[in-house]
Homo-oligomer: A and B are copies of this chain.
Amino acid sequence: MKMEELKQKILKEGMAKDSDILVVNSFLNQQVDTKLMENIGKEFAAYFKDKGVTKILTAESSGIAPALMTAANLGVNCIFARKQKSLTTDDNSYVSTVYSFTKQEMKNLIVEKSFLNEDDKILIIDDFLANGQASKAMIALCNQAGADVVGIGIVIEKSFQEGRKILEEMGYDVYSLARISKLEEGKIEFLD
C-alpha cells in the first residue's frame, strides 16, 4: 500500500478529540510536512494520470498544499475557491454554498468564471472528506461552468460518515489516501 507513510503519520501525530474531530495540524492543517505533501502529490498524480486532467480545484486553505503538489506532478495549474469576498474578487464569479463543520458556519465557495470552462477536466483535491458537502459544493461550481469533474482525491476520509457514498452515487471516482473507520478520544482506526 502506497500511503502507509500517511497512515503512520496520522497514528503518530493525529489527535482524535472525539468521535468526529481528528486534529492533524502538525502536518496538514497548519504545519505542512513538505516531504509527505510531495509524496501525496505524486500518489494522486499517479492515480489520476490518465484522466486528461486540465486543472486541479480545491478550497482554501488546507486543500491548497495537496492540490498544488498534485498539480506540479500532473503539469497543470490549480485553483483554490475562495471562502470570502475581497476587494480583488471579480463579480463575474461562480458561487456555491457549504456548511463548515469545523468552523460551525455557512461559507460561500467562490471561483471567477474565467478560471473554469466547459473544456476543463477538473480533478478536485481536498484535505478531508466527511459528509461530502465541500466536494459537492466544488462539483456545483464545475457544473455551473459546464466543466467535467474527472475525479476526487482526498487526503483523509472519515469513512464512518456518508461523504464517499454520496459522491459515488453521483458517479464520481473517489480516491482517498487514508480511510478512517472509527474515531474516539485518543483512538484512531483505519478501514484497511
Contacts and interface: CB of A to CB of B under 8 A. Distances in A.
Nearest to A87: B102
Interface in A72-106: 72, 75-82, 84, 86-88, 90, 100-104
A38 B115 CA distance: 20
A38 B71 CA distance: 11
A77 B33 contact: yes
Chain A contact surface mostly: mixed
Interface string A16-38: 01000101011001111111011
Given A86-B102, A88-B21, A102-B87, A30 B79 contact: yes
- For this complex, into which size category does the number of interface residues on chain A fall? 35 or more
A30 B61 CA distance: 11
A111 interface: yes
B34 A78 contact: yes
Nearest to A73: B34
A112 interface: yes
Closest 9 CB pairs of A and B: A60-B61, A86-B102, A61-B61, A34-B71, A64-B64, A87-B102, A23-B88, A31-B79, A31-B115
10 contacts: A25-B112, A30-B111, A31-B78, A32-B79, A32-B80, A61-B82, A64-B65, A84-B103, A86-B100, A88-B102
